[in-house]
Amino acid sequence: MSSESKAVALELHLKSCSNVTCLGVRPNFSDYSPDQAAMIREAPRIYYPSTFYADVFAAMGKPIFPSIHTYRFVQDKVKQSALFEILDIPRPRTRTFYGRHRKEKILRHFSYPFVAKIARGSALGRGVYLIESGSDLDEYCDLTKIAYIQQYLPVDRDIRVVVIGGRMAHAYWRIAAPGEFRSNLGCGGSVSLDPIPDAACELALNTALRCGWDDVGIDICMWQDRLYVLEANMKYGRAGFVSAGIDYFKMMEDKIRNGEI
């Protein structure tokens, strides 16, 4: 990238980056001005094109960041779980259940307590439930037609490893609040910058690379001396960067300038 040119993005994710022009997402391409349309057509890469345009640009061979695979797995725990299983990535025992007899099927495979999640569209700890009784299970099944059930590992913290452009950008512990089984910061969790085991960073990086995800927060926990991948978050928060004194936007400016992404 020349000193005068700017990268082109559609979503406003990088709006605070001095070397990026964010045009916004317009479902009708004709709503972009002629100059904006030309910028999009001529840009060597489009950053954060949105789920809508990611497929469009991928079909026409236009390079994008994040990758098309990153967009295709965003907030879809069912697809993530299938990919983890095929790749034999270590994770808590997980199954998906459908149909009217979900509760009976679940209880044939899991004993209380276990974790139940809203399979698609949930984030920030919302849509995650600790199921400890039949009434808990009834309430959960009333919320969703897809039951996404995961083995409960009684830990009070997990590790968030952020991978950007095939490299680890940051890693930190998330500590659950007292009485809370979720470590999400939106659920009262806190950031700890205690050292992260090298094996956890390696697992996260390996998972991201094998899955084709180049902008992702991989959540990992340790239970009985084993590491498990819990899930992947393509829409991760930046509080961990703030706690570590990392200027996220300056970091992304540098990655774009250096051709890392």
pLDDT, averaged in runs of 10, over the chain (261 residues): 77 96 97 98 98 96 97 94 97 95 96 94 75 97 95 96 97 93 86 97 98 97 96 93 97 97 97
CATH code of 93-151, in short, is 3.30.1490.20
CB of 8 closer than 8 Å to CB of 39? yes
CATH code of 157-257, in short, is 3.30.470.20
Whole-angstrom Cα distance, residue 19 to residue 24? 16
CB of 118 closer than 8 Å to CB of 143? yes
| Range(s) within the chain of domains with CATH label 3.30.1490.20 | 93-151
Query: Omega into 154 within 30° of 0, i.e. cis?
Result: no
pLDDT of 3: 47
**Residues β-bridged to residue 47:** 9, 65
pLDDT of 9: 98
| Range(s) within the chain of domains with CATH label 3.30.470.20 | 157-257
Three-state SS sequence of the chain = CCCCCCEEECCHHHCCCCCEEECCCCCCHHHCCHHHHHHHHHCCCEECCHHHHHHHHHHHCCCEECCHHHHHCCCEHHHHHHHHHHHCCCCCCEEEECCCCHHHHHHHHCCCCEEEEECECCCCCCCEEEECCHHHHHHHHHHCCCEEEEECCCCCEEEEEEEECCEEEEEEEEECCCCCCCCCHHHCCEEECCCCCHHHHHHHHHHHHHHCCCEEEEEEEEECCEEEEEEEECCCCCHHHHHCCCCHHHHHHHHHHCCCC
